[in-house]
Amino acid sequence: MNAPPPGLGTPFPVLWLCGPPGVGKSTSGWLLYQRLAAAGTPVGFVDIDQLGMNFPEPPGDPGRYRLKTANLASLAANHRAAGARCLVVSGVVDPLAGVDRGQLPGIELTLCGLTAPPEELGRRYLGRGTLPEELARVLAENEEFERAGLVDRHVDTGGLPPAQVVERVLADWHPPAAASDGQPAPNPPAPTPPDGPVATLLLCGARAVGTSTVGWEVAQRLQRAGIRTGFVDLGQVGFLRPAPVDDPGLHRLRSANLAALLGRYATRGSRHLVAVGSPRTEDDLAQYRRALAGNPLTVDRLTAGPETLADRVRRRGAGEGPQLPGDLLIGRSEEELAAIAAESAREARRLADAALGDLALATDDRSVEEIADALFRLWDHAPETVMPAP
């Protein structure tokens, strides 16, 4: 256990589920987060990959493992200050060095390595699209990781549903009691001052309008042009249950985490950042503007008509697009999806009536590439090298 720095009191518990691809880290981590919250433990959750979306890869940090760990320290402090009693993390760690615990002051880190028999991992890998000729290499890397002894404990997931995996994890790791331990929450560390302003484009809109898909396309296009760029999904870096009474939409937590990520990406050369999220009022947006003070923030609200939103809700419900923790559309019935689509249409009207954001861009009957083209034309801070042809 790491010794806490002066003034932090009791170390903050962080449980990190790690292991090879396909072993069930994200699924088990999300289920554990839900279970702890349902039992009354104030808890946060983050997938570690969400803390390293700074492209191209920074020099000297292959895999961005040190970047992710440094960002985890900031997010853990912000979650603790917002009332969390522990944090659940899922994702890979450096297969050669594990986690540099020295980057996590004041944190009681437990690394729990999920494993599975080679034959079962093989089936899972092939089911995820791993090419047969790559399978031997991936399995060998997994064996090397297990032999390295980089984790505090192992849990064999072979043949087990996620609920039983969670049971085995909790047999060895006990979350803190929900009651306060009498220690004040520490002030989160101030974000690293950027070397220069970072121009941020924040995409928002009604549910299923496509902010994540479009935002990722914009970030990828900047990256392909050789422009170091950060990407932040605000929902993915702001999971906390229960939400604080004075921050029900979690925008104070998410804006603090955005500022921390922006500061660290800036020190690695990023001058552009794309964020996607769900601010719903000008008060919500004001928190992001305050958090990013000194850095230009452009808020673009994506819009779509009721039929387009209903189609996108149905597609998300069917599993199209990236599979992210916390997606409430996956597995819903047709009736539930129809009700969600109707609410999304009402939400779109409310946002339009409030004229939320600096810009508004219609996405109906447009491809993702066409929407990205239009965004670059509207964004005052878009680099010339990515501007689409007239």
Instruction: Answer for the pair 330, 322: CB distance below 8 angstroms, yes or no.
Output: no
The set of residues, in sequence order, having a beta carbon less than 8 Å from that of 215 and lying 6+ positions away, is 201, 203, 231, 233, 274, 275, 276
Structural tokens at position 25? 């880290």
Which one, of 185, 326, 188, 200, lies nearest residue 257 by Cα? 188
User: CA quadruple 144, 147, 153, 154: dihedral positive or negative?
Assistant: positive
| Residues 254-277, mean pLDDT to the nearest whole number | 95
For residue 262, give Cα distances in angstroms to 52, 141, 182, 194, 238. 11, 32, 32, 8, 15
pLDDT at residue 287 tops 50: yes
Q: Quick one: DSSP state of residue 23?
A: S
More confident site: 129 or 192: 129
Residue 116 main-chain phi, psi, to 5 deg: -160, 155
Q: What is the pLDDT of residue 165?
A: 96
pTM beyond 0.85, yes or no: yes
Q: How confident is the model at residue 6 (pLDDT cuts 50, 70, 90)?
A: very low
Q: How confident is the model at residue 2 (pLDDT cuts 50, 70, 90)?
A: very low
For the chain, the domains span: 12-172, 199-386
Say whether domain 12-172 belongs to CATH 3.40.50.300.
Answer: yes
List strands edge to edge, sheet with 12-18. Answer: 153-156, 107-115, 12-18, 86-90, 43-47, 239-241
Distance in angstroms (rounded) separating the CA atoms of residues 25 and 5 = 30
The set of residues, in sequence order, having a beta carbon less than 8 Å from that of 180 and lying 6+ positions away, is none
User: CA quadruple 180, 45, 67, 190: dihedral positive or negative?
Assistant: negative
| Residues 331-335, mean pLDDT to the nearest whole number | 88
pLDDT in tens, 35-70: 999 999 999 999 999 999 998 887 889 999 999 999
Assess whether the region 12-172 and the region 199-386 belong to the same CATH fold.
yes
pLDDT at residue 286 tops 90: yes
Q: What is the overall mean pLDDT for the chain?
A: 89
The set of residues, in sequence order, having a beta carbon less than 8 Å from that of 323 and lying 6+ positions away, is 330
Q: How confident is the model at residue 326 (pLDDT cuts 50, 70, 90)?
A: confident
Q: What is the pLDDT of residue 1?
A: 39
User: What is the H or E stretch that residue 86 is in?
Assistant: strand 86-90
Q: What is the pLDDT of residue 147?
A: 78
CATH C-level class of 199-386: alpha beta
